Chains A and B, each alone.
Chain A
Amino acid sequence: NAGVTQTPKFRVLKTGQSMTLLCAQDMNHEYMYWYRQDPGMGLRLIHYSVGEGTTAKGEVPDGYNVSRLKKQNFLLGLESAAPSQTSVYFCASSYIAASGGYNEQFFGPGTRLTVL
């Protein structure tokens, strides 16, 4: 199993350009998440999805859109990139616990995005 994979690994954009980050997981997980990691800030949740066709806003959703057309994929879009969106983006997935407890999330390797 590849686990959680992210494409691309690195990208440089100019202000105003758009792009889509792809996250894929092969663990048949229901839940998927997008986070951004900034120096001294830890990770902050952008958007998440509890299943195919559903998405929800996290802590810092402005300037981003997401889609979950297939269970295994979760796309993060930047419609008009801004320098404030320079960050490392991590995707994660998680599964439903039979006991109802909260399970750990499995993370991808990250995408380093620079907006000039």
Chain B
Amino acid sequence: GNSVTQMEGPVTLSEEAFLTINCTYTATGYPSLFWYVQYPGEGLQLLLKATKADDKGSNKGFEATYRKETTSFHLEKGSVQVSDSAVYFCALRGGGGADGLTFGKGTHLIIQP
């Protein structure tokens, strides 16, 4: 079956530091890949997505590239802000029809001023 593995946190960085959150996946076929962000007390919001190999998703300074050869979708940002503190989930959607998303366990990111 499908699975997503992402680095466990918490990850603590100083403001303006470079961020990488690793995500690797196992899936049959050609899944679509997503990063969602969850701020305290809120639901999940889509941060970015990529639907085929070599696609790069980007939003709000975050980027991730769909690497089929390494089955990875690592999240990066060049200079983090305190407001980026949240839980980040890597997810995939694959197979046929309207199956739900398969999520990683989430990475808690803490940015210190």
Chain A residues within CB distance 8 Å of chain B:
4, 30-31, 33, 35, 40-45, 48, 50, 58-59, 90, 92, 94, 101-110
CB of A42 within 8 A of CB of B97, answer no
CB of A42 within 8 A of CB of B89, answer yes
- Please give the number of chain B residues whose Cβ is less than 8 angstroms from any Cβ of chain A in the complex: 24
CB of A50 within 8 A of CB of B100, answer no
Q: In this complex, which of B43, B49, B89 has the most chain A Cβ atoms within 10 angstroms of its Cβ?
A: B43
The main secondary structure of chain B at its interface with chain A is loop
CB of A94 within 8 A of CB of B49, answer no
Chain B residues within CB distance 8 Å of chain A:
4, 31-32, 34, 36, 42-46, 49, 51, 89, 93-94, 97-101, 103-106
Q: A50-B97, A101-B32 are in contact. List 14 more A-B contacts (CB 8 A).
A: A33-B101, A42-B104, A43-B101, A48-B99, A59-B100, A90-B43, A92-B44, A92-B101, A94-B98, A101-B51, A102-B93, A104-B46, A108-B43, A110-B42
